[in-house]
Amino acid sequence: MKKVPPIQTLLPHEPPMLLLHRVSEWTLTSLIAEVDCEKPSLFSTPQGYVPSLVGVEYLVQAMGALAGLKLISQGEKPQIGFLLGVRNYQPICNEFPGTGVLKISVNQVFLDETLNLGAFDGEISHGGTILCTGQIKAIMPSDPEGILQLDELN
């Protein structure tokens, strides 16, 4: 198994929006990340639960962590990416459990390396039970700062 750097080195996120706690496994086309349900989150309810809609961000961050791991393995720095869409996000619960560990899995189904555009099937499970599935699409442009500054031109 490949050694995995700390999650905060893989994503251009900072707390409180860094929602994943660690990567447990990865290959060039897949990744499993974990979230400790007991740790407070920006999205936690007073009862300690996190709404299942936050699972979309868990999947996006897992996909970003995989991109970050690939870049680091090539001697490069993780970059900003942009979510393009979510398809068939299907939670079977309204909120995630307040105990245990969530496993967030992403598997590449499409990658255009010229455009840095990818699609990934995602799954969130808890104790072996699948809680959410969906497909996410994102792009990692070569000049993300240029895209972010487009709004300033208007």
Answer whether 10's CB lies under 8 Å from 2's CB: no
- On whether residue 1 sits in a domain, the answer given is no
Indicate the number of domains in the chain: 1
Please state, rounded to an integer, the average pLDDT across all residues of the chain: 93
127: left (phi over 0), alpha (psi -120 to 50) or beta: left
Each residue's pLDDT tens digit, 23-78? 999 999 999 999 999 999 999 999 999 999 999 999 999 999 999 999 999 999 99
Each residue's pLDDT tens digit, 98-113? 999 999 999 999 999 9
- On whether residue 2 sits in a domain, the answer given is no
- On whether residue 111 sits in a domain, the answer given is yes
- On whether residue 140 sits in a domain, the answer given is yes
- On whether residue 120 sits in a domain, the answer given is yes
Domain of residue 129, residue span: 7-153
Secondary structure letter of residue 10 according to DSSP? T
Collapsed DSSP state (helix, strand, coil) of residue 82: strand
pLDDT at 145 over 70: yes
CATH number of the domain that residue 103 is part of: 3.10.129.10
